[in-house]
Amino acid sequence: MTLTFQLFGRFEVQDASGRLLDVGALKQRAVLALLAVEPGQVVSLDRLIDDLWPGETPASATGSLQAYVSHLRRVIEPDRRPRTPPRVILTRPPGYLLDVPAERVDLSRFTVHADQGRQALRRGDHEQAVTVLDAALALWRGEPLAEFSSLRSLAPTITRLSELRIAAMEDRFDARLSLGDARGCVAELETLVEQHRYRERLWALLVLALYRSGRQADALAALRRIRAYLADDLGIEPGTELRRLEQAVFDQASELDLPTAPPPARVVTAQGADGELIGRDDDLDRLRRRLDRARDGHGGVMLISGEAGVGKTSLARAAVTAGAAHGMTTAWGRCAEEAAPTYWPWRQALSAAGIDTGVLTVREQQRIPDPDAALFELHERVITALGSVGRPVLLVLDDLHWADISSLRLLAFVAGDLGDRPVLIVATFRPEPGSHPELFRDILGAISGEPSTDRIDLSAFGADEVAAYLRLRHAPDDRDLVRTLLERSGGNPFYLGELLRLRDSEQQEGVPAGARDVIDRRISRLPRQTRELMRTGSVIGRDLDVELLAAVADRPTPEVMAALEPAVATGMLHEPPHGHDYRFAHTLVRDTLYWGMSRLERARTHLAVGTCLEWRPGVDPVELAHHFAAAAKVGAAAKAVHYASRAAREATTQLAFTEAVQHWETALGALGPDDDADRCTLLTELGQARRDLGDAAGAVRDLDSAITLAQRTGNRAALVPAISVFGGPAVWNWRPYGTVDDDIVELLEELLAGHLDDTDRAALQGTLGVELHYSDRRAEGERHAADAVDLARRLGDPELRARTLNNYLLASWVPGRNTERLRAADEMLSIPGLPRATRLVARVLRMACLLRAGDLAEWDRDLERCERLLQRGSRPELEAMVRIAETARRTLDGHWAEAEDLLARYGRVRYGSTPWGLDFHRLVTLYTCRRGQGRVADIAEELTTAAARPDLTSLRPLAILAAVDLGDDNQARRLVRRWGSRIAKDWTADFLIPVWGLVAARLGEPDPKHLYLTLLGTPDLLVIGGMGSSGLGSTRHVLADLAQRLGRPDDARRHARAGLETHHRLGLAHWEEHSRRQLAQLGAPRPGG
């Protein structure tokens, strides 16, 4: 069956008769598109699944993919008989293959044609080059793989094709210039260099085209433009070729000359020019229809109106490219804001169209006897000249609001006489008055009244267009970024581009210079009273309540409303139909006004706004805190602290911990330098908020500061709240690995030795238990934690009991305590009314215990319970806590890709742990995956480098085992000698003792007998890293290796068989196969094989 695949624009598949096949909904279409991009090549199942389900892969993914392939096979081969093998979509390990010739796919044909065109250009066959490149560009019906741009694996292909298209266009212009078509290339090249302003080859082609059209001055001006772009935007000079070309133009070098007779007008695709316009399809269609009418002899004027930066010029450029593609003579004239010669835009446009600008002058005379008649004759000459070009004409007059009076009058005259001529004039302008406001309005009215005049009023982008703009700029189009940029830019494409430039340069505040210049000019034309009120309003915010503004300005409300009318008339302010009285048209307008004020003026205005707001009922404390904090230096510090603290507490009650942190920081920032007691309280509150948020390192920093300050000032009452925060709910120890804060331990013991109520005593005892976990007094710390639980039980305080049980779980995380920990987790979960975060903590700790015990069915049920808790309102740090706990289960199942995907998506967001844990858990999981995949070499070096860090000593056994895995026993022994083989009895021991066992079984060190006897105490547990980072199967297979090392082959085989039974019973296929291989190596027959 002959099929054709079209991947440019909308994805289409045609059969031999040209009939379009229905290849299904988006995911099914995506499968076929992924195969069609690489015809004849196998696309792996993993890649297809990763692209179709980029987030968490559902368990049904493989089955769904197979269903898609089955449906596609029925559509593509409807006549294939049952049980006969498919001929088009073939199953080939490790995935599928589309068995069609490459020339049946338009992407492949485009690539071949583009390469052939370049080869023809290189050998000097310019006509052939143009023909082949025309064929290539004609295939470009739209963006490549437009429906599937979100698929990660296709991004390089899309980028390559876009680059190849620009290169093909350059090659085509190069060939056309060599054929003498210089003048026909100018308009298209002018458009392209603005779209790709750093592409020096395009500029070189434009300069050459201008020069060969007899426009040496314009060629040099183009060179100055690219020099300015490169210097201002990138800080670099043009490349060698452009500099050489510049000198040649100066010298009028003969090497630049070629025959200038233009060939017949060529018809080329216009898709490239307008393909990058966003949200202007309807407007572009209207322009195309007017171009069609003009080519048929019915011209006129098309007015394009819109605010600065909304895209008027871009739309006009698209019209020029479309006109040139259909053989029209196109020309462009720009009006100058500052002083310029009379008829300046007309002079540029007529010259570009090949018309002698002498038509704009009268014969030299001392006196013109009839100026009106002479002006009429001049206008008539222009119309006649436009009609004598020999082709339909498209003229653009850009920024008409800046035009000189003579140019405006000429346009008004010409507009009435174009209805039966093949001439279309596109004029762009802003709605606000320009150089000659009254005349401009009158002439605009006259032009609009002509029957051959149309008008397009461009509006700003909405959310969909902003997202499309971001994709075009290869920026992430996530919803939060779209919403932020839409809010700040008001949907204005120019401001949007400036904001992205600002974002790219990592400046987060202020207004982009390009946008600021535009706004400043508009503001400067408003009356002084209007500007003052707008400045005051900018302090209030983007939305303005006119009564509040009047109160702050101390003026009557009607007077304020009257003064704001000019701002409304020019579009700087809007009057929303509902809600606030006024709204700044763009956040950038508001920001320009705000940041244009002095710091003192801003602070005083904030104080005035806050004072007026304070008397209004129901005002949000966040708003009051904002204004008083900005006025803290001018007497509002106390109010700033008061309202920011209120806002923080309200945010905490709403579980908005990020906002709570921000408000506490605002309160601290406003606090005076001598307010030690309040500072201690605020630091404690901030530390608690950071702890709630999951920022353990930040919490430790703030709480340490609070404790130090309380000790220095003798504020014992502040010590207990500050130090108690450390013992809150957590999955991981809050201290860096191996770290004991002796000062905190000493302070806790000092407080416990003094008078405390029982609630504080239980909280501090539990905290001390966790603080001692990494010390030589770990067992004593576990007893403290157990005593804290007993005391909390007697007190009957459910929250305190949950807290102390959590402390006990962390303090007792050592080998031999899994049963006790499981009981503690069960008790914790039995407490009614626990906060969601605390229940998730308890579930995750319980799941880690269940994994070690091999109770996978209950682990699955606990995961489902966690899923339900997360569905009630997800917080990133809580979800991360659960997802990271999943990685061990995935490694036990041998699902390495799933484990790595969880790590990649959630490994940087942690709940209640210190930053060192990020690297530890990442590397443990990656090592486990690489070991299971037989790719330890990929990670060994990184693992060894990280293990050398003093805060990652717990990775050292893994780094040594990696060397053993690679067969480098000498390196492994060197590392043992360098680092030693001490086994810390802490939360890592459950995992690291078996790891050392694997090392000892190979090297004979550390002591294999000691490790064997240690592991015999827990023979039937699974080896799990921490709270669920990774799993290494049953301890039995480690015992088998150690027994073999100790010369006890019968025990080795017994342990290996027990390991096999465990792995088989639990359905752990990867580890079951590992046990079978181990038994075979031990000389036992492979069970079941």
- Rounded to 10 degrees, what is the CA torsion of 786, 787, 789, 795? 170
Residues 495 and 578 in one domain: no
**pLDDT score of 911:** 43
Same domain, 172 and 57: yes
Percent helix, strand, coil in the chain, to 5, is 65, 5, 30
Are 417 and 543 contained in the same domain?
no
On whether both 168 and 143 belong to a single domain, the answer is: yes
Structure tokens at 224: 């100055």
Structural domain includes residue 36: yes
Shared domain for 49 and 155, answered yes or no, is yes
* Pairwise CA distance, residues 616 & 620, whole Å: 10
Which of 493, 508, 523 finishes a domain? 508
In a domain, 696, yes or no: no
Q: Which two tokens stand for residue 5?
A: 């695949």
What does the alpha-carbon distance between residue 618 and residue 98 come to, in Å, rounded to a whole number? Answer: 66
Q: Is residue 1030 part of a domain?
A: yes
Residues forming beta bridges with residue 303, ordered by sequence position: 427, 455
Query: What span, in angstroms and rounded, lies between the C-alpha atoms of 798 and 830?
Result: 10
Query: 979 lies in a domain?
Result: yes
pLDDT (0 to 100) of residue 894: 92
At 272 the pLDDT is 28
Same domain, 499 and 543: no
Question: What is the predicted pLDDT for the residue at 773?
Answer: 93
Q: Are 321 and 349 in contact (CB under 8 A)?
A: no
For strands 1022-1024 and 1031-1034, give the pairing. Answer: antiparallel
The reply to whether 739 falls in a domain is no
Q: Identify the bridge partners of residue 333 per DSSP, sorted by sequence position.
A: 397
The pLDDT, as a whole number, for residue 508 is 47
132 lies in the same domain as 186 = no
Flag whether the pTM goes above 0.85. no
Q: What is the b/e burial string over 470-486, where b = at least 16 CB atoms within 10 angstroms of the residue's CB?
A: bbeeeeebeeebbeebb
Q: How many CB atoms lie within 10 A of CB 970?
A: 9
Q: Is residue 982 part of a domain?
A: yes
* End-to-end C-alpha distance for the chain, whole angstroms: 45
Residues 130, 206, single domain; the answer is no
Closest CA to 744 of 789, 695, 705: 705
The total of other beta-carbon atoms located within 10 Å of residue 18's CB is: 7
Left if phi > 0, otherwise alpha if psi is -120 to 50, otherwise beta: which for 510?
A: left
Q: Residue 574 is part of a domain; what is its CATH number?
A: 1.10.10
Please check whether residue 838 lies inside any domain of the structure.
no
Residues 194 and 158 reside in one and the same domain: no
**Strand 4-6 with 453-457, pairing:** unpaired
Instruction: With a cut of 70, list the residues of the chain below it in pLDDT.
Output: 1, 83, 93, 258-276, 336-341, 362-376, 432-436, 438, 473-477, 498-518, 521, 570, 577-579, 654-656, 694, 872-877, 907-917, 1019, 1084-1089
Rounded to an integer, what distance in angstroms lies between the CA atom of residue 383 and that of residue 414? 7
Whether 1038 and 996 share a structural domain: yes
Final residue before a domain boundary, out of 125, 145, 178: 178
Judge contact between 758 and 743, C-beta under 8 A.
no
Which sign, positive or negative, has the C-alpha torsion 499, 503, 504, 505? Answer: positive
How far is Cα 441 from Cα 398, in angstroms, rounded to an integer?
17
Would you say 856 and 1066 are in contact if contact means Cβ atoms under 8 Å apart?
A: yes
> Domain range for residue 303?
278-358+371-459
Distance (Å, whole) CA 361 – CA 343: 10
Quick one: 878 and 921 in the same domain? yes
Q: How many CB atoms within 10 Å of residue 339?
A: 8
| 904-945 pLDDT tens trace | 877 655 444 444 467 788 899 999 999 999 999 999 999 999
Q: Do you find a cis peptide bond into 1006, omega within 30 degrees of 0? A: yes
Q: What is the CATH number of the domain that holds 1063?
A: 1.25.40
Burial class (CB in 10 A: 0-12, 13-18, 19+), 780: middle
Q: Name the domain count of the chain.
A: 6
Query: Which of 549, 577, 596 is the endpoint of a domain?
Result: 596
Give the residue ranges of DSSP H helices in 854-988.
856-871, 876-892, 896-906, 916-933, 937-947, 956-965, 969-979
Asked whether residue 283 is domain-assigned, the answer is yes
Contact 975, 956 (CB under 8 A): yes
Distance, CA of 844 to CA of 860 (rounded, Å): 12
pLDDT of residue 970: 94
Write out the H or E segment, with its range, that includes residue 531.
helix 528-540
What single-letter DSSP state applies at residue 402? G
166 shares its domain with 209: no
Q: Please give the backbone phi and psi of residue 266, each rounded to the nearest 5 degrees, phi first.
A: -110, 145
